Each structure stands twice: as C-alpha cells, then as structure tokens.
Structure 1
Amino acid sequence: AVPPNGNETFNRRYYSYDFGDVHYVVLDTMLYESNHEDNHDTHHPDLYDVQVQWLRKDLAANTKKWTVVLMHRDPFQYAFDRAGASRAVGFDDEGVLFMPIFDEFNVDLVLSAHLHSYRNRGHVRNFERDASGPLYILTGIAGDARRPKWKEHPLDVYVAPDREKNNYMTMTVMPNQLIVKAFLPDGTQLDESVIQK
C-alpha cells in the first residue's frame, strides 16, 4: 500500500511521500531486472526516461525542509577482480543518471543498497567530495546474502569493519539536523552522520 503518485504505467514502482518535515522519494532502479515481473514480459526500456521526468517534477514541487531519496541500486560502482570478471571503480548507470538531479534539487540524503555492505561516502556533488552535496550511504546488510569483498572507493569515508555482520540504521529528524546512525544487531554503534541546515 504505497502512494500511487508515480506513473500509471509503472504503478507504485516509484513514488514519494511526506512525513513530518521530510520529503521521501523512492526510486525504481531495477530496469535491468524487470524483464520477467509477474511471469510476463513487462520490460519497459523507457522506465528511467519516464522516471527522470517525474522525479524532476516531484522535486520541483517539494516544500519540505529535508529531502531523502531511497533507491535499491547503489549509484557508486565498486571495483572487483575475480575469476573471469573485473570492474573499475566509478559510478554506475543509475549514479550517472540520478546524481546530477540530486545535486540540482539539493537532496540531503541518499540511501541505497544492493551491494550488501555498509559504506558511508560522505557528501558528494558533481561526482566529487563536496560538503554542499547530498550525503550518500550504502545501508549495509541484513539477512544471509554475502558478496565478494568490493575494493575501496576513493569516496568511502567509513566502511563497516566486518562485512559478515548485519547492521541496522536509524534516522532522527530535528528542526535543524538530520542524524543518521548505523548499529550492529547488539546495539554497538558503527557510524554516525549529522546533516545541518
């Protein structure tokens, strides 16, 4: 039961909502995995094009103090080397597409997933370290899926020391602060970031 304010063709696959003084935007970053949804050929190659138009409209109409984006695929690309495959460090397709829009509309916080690792990349604007840019956090791992160890990204500020341990996060909204913390299941704090505005 999520808001139907995205797009009729992509019903409830992306949407936004307000809670308190925060505007939340949930993006659908699963373009390449959407081929066989509901056992039908529902692949829509225009998902990102249509979504970008909607996102710009949505963010332009936002009147809340804070803006938080949630997206499954991580916009950062991590390097790895393993048998038969390797990849360079940088930004993936979703990062190249969406990060300039986050910059343009002064998004405060971007939470992503997919890589099963907790990493805080700090504030990034124009693909570089910049205190005026959004804070990017790869939210980590919960469950039984473990991935090969990604190499460090030049923009990593903090990486969870033990990738085999699950973690959870909290966000506290204050009048002039957004406080994000990460914890191990036993309550041990891993990381904390404070955004001031």
Structure 2
Amino acid sequence: MTAQITGLDGWTPEALGVPGEVRPVVSAPHAVLSRTGGEVDATSDEVVRLAADLVATMRVSPGCVGLAAPQVGVGAQVFAVDVTGHPKSVTVHGTFVLCNARVVEASRWKAGREGCMSVPDLTGDVKRASRLVVEGVLPGTGRPVRIATDGFEARALQHEIDHCAGLLFLDRVAGAHAIYQRKVYL
C-alpha cells in the first residue's frame, strides 16, 4: 500500500474561512466521551466553525496529534489530525479535518502506547492497524476524501475515529496490566 490522500486537493484548515477558537477539553468520565457522535452535514456553518476550533485547540496543546469533537463536548463525528513533527511519524499528510469518517481497510495489527488529552493521567498499550484506509468528508466543501496511511498516522486516525464512536483508548487496552501512569517530565 502506498500512503496517499485523495480528495484533499489543496484543502487547508485556513480554507474554512473562519478563525478557530480554543475550546476547553473535557476529561473522562464526561458523558459525551462515551456516546456515539452524530453524523454531520460537513457544509454547515456550525460544522465549519467546529472544525476550525478543533484545529486551533489542537495547535495550542503540546504533544497533541489529534482532537475529536466529543473531546470539546460536542457529540459529532468530526476530528482533526496532524502528526507533523512527531518523532514516531513516518507518513505525514499534514493537518486535516474529517467528518463522518470510517475505516474501510485495516491490516498489520501492532500494539503501541497511546495517551489522550481526555485521559490526562494515563497511557495504555492498544493494538491497532498499522496500515489503514479511511474515508470521510472535508468540512466546508463536503468533498469525499480517501486516506491510505500507515504507522503513527494510522494509529492517530483510529484513535480519533474511536472518540467519534464513544470509545476511549482505555476501552481498547488488553487489561489493567496494559495501563500506565503518565510520566511527567519537569
């Protein structure tokens, strides 16, 4: 599989045409984090503003490589991802936002450590596909997108799609033995 994205065609968060506002991130056990988000009209003004806000919030959050609408208290299937500059990243498609995304192909399952802004004190080992194809819709344009990716970017996409489905990484760990206290570096 060659890592690629089709349908992006020059789309950037700035193309949304609205400035994003930083929103507070909710923490577990907030109820919105355990509910399936609703599908959205990717062209609606409300979704375009939400997409811009997700990008703005992600960009000011150190170490953040993805953020889903439920994490800012909105039960919707919208998320932003950008693994640019992360030391585990090999394949990088830059910053993008997807609506109503779904996994259409997944293979080469591997365990890896994950953390989450909505579970700030813990990390855990989660088995995820390291090769992935996802389809979704771009906010603002309503244009369909197909992303074929691998490695860390594939893991980030699955993590955010899980948020939209009401799942946390804690729901995917093999058991208590695979959950760890987050290390704090001073």
Give the TM-score, by structure 2 length.
Answer: 0.29
Give the TM-score, by structure 1 length.
Answer: 0.28
Kindly indicate whether structure 1 or structure 2 has the higher relative contact order, using CA contacts under 8 Å at least 6 residues apart. 2
